[in-house]
Structure 1
Amino acid sequence: MTGKNIGFKSFLQGAHYDHITFTHCLIHREALAATKLAPELNDVLQDAVKIINFIKSHALNSRLFSNLCKDTESNYTTLLLHAEVRWLSRGQSLRKLWLLKDEIEIFLTFYNREK
C-alpha cells in the first residue's frame, strides 16, 4: 500500500506531493510494547486466552455457548479466537470476553457440574 514503486506513496510522489512524509511499520512499536507486559497483566491475558480457546477450539463447546448467548438474549453470540500471531486481536478478544463474562461464568459453571 505504501510501496515506493507501486502504491499510495508512489502515487502521491508522482503527483508532486513531496512534502508528505511516510513512516514505515508504526504498528511494530506497539507490538513490541505489547510483548513486554507486566507479569500480572500477562497472567490475566493468558487466563483469558485459555478460557476463549477452551470454548472456541471445540465445536460442541462453541455451539453450546452460542445457544446459551441466544437464550440469554445477549448482544453477542460468539467469542473471538485469540491468535498469538495477531497481537491486535488481543484487545478485541478481551473486550468480547468482558462483555460476555456473565454468559461465560454460566457456561463454565454448567460445564464443571456436568463433568
Structure 2
Amino acid sequence: MATVSVGRFVPLPGQTVYLTDRASPRFAGHPVRLLITAESTPSEWDDRSGRSARDSAWLSLTGYELDPRGRRLNLREHVSVYAPGIVLVGEPGVRACLSSTVSERLQ
C-alpha cells in the first residue's frame, strides 16, 4: 500500500486518507488515518461563500479513524481540514487522479 500526496482532491467514500499537520495543526504529533464514509463537503465558511467541495480550501470530512492494523477506532464527523494537506493512501488506479508530472515521477 503506497501513500501518495496528491495536492488537491476531494476524497470519496471508501477512500482512506492521512491527516497530518499539513491538513490541520491539531494533527501535529498525532497524524490520523481516516476511512471516508460520507461525501466530502466544503467547510462552512467556503459553503457560505458559494464554493463547491472541489473549489474549497477547507473541507469537512466524515469517517472512521483507523488504528495501525486498519481497525475502526471511532467515528469522526465534520473534521475540518486544509484540502492540499490531505494525503491519499494509494491503491491501484490512484495514479489516474494525479497530474501527469507527479504520475511520471511515480513510475
TM-score, normalization: structure 2?
Answer: 0.24
**Rg larger in 1 or in 2?**
1
Q: Larger % of helix: which?
A: 1
State the TM-score, normalizing by the size of structure 1.
Answer: 0.23
Greater RCO (Cα-Cα under 8 Å, separation 6 or more): 2
Higher strand share: 2
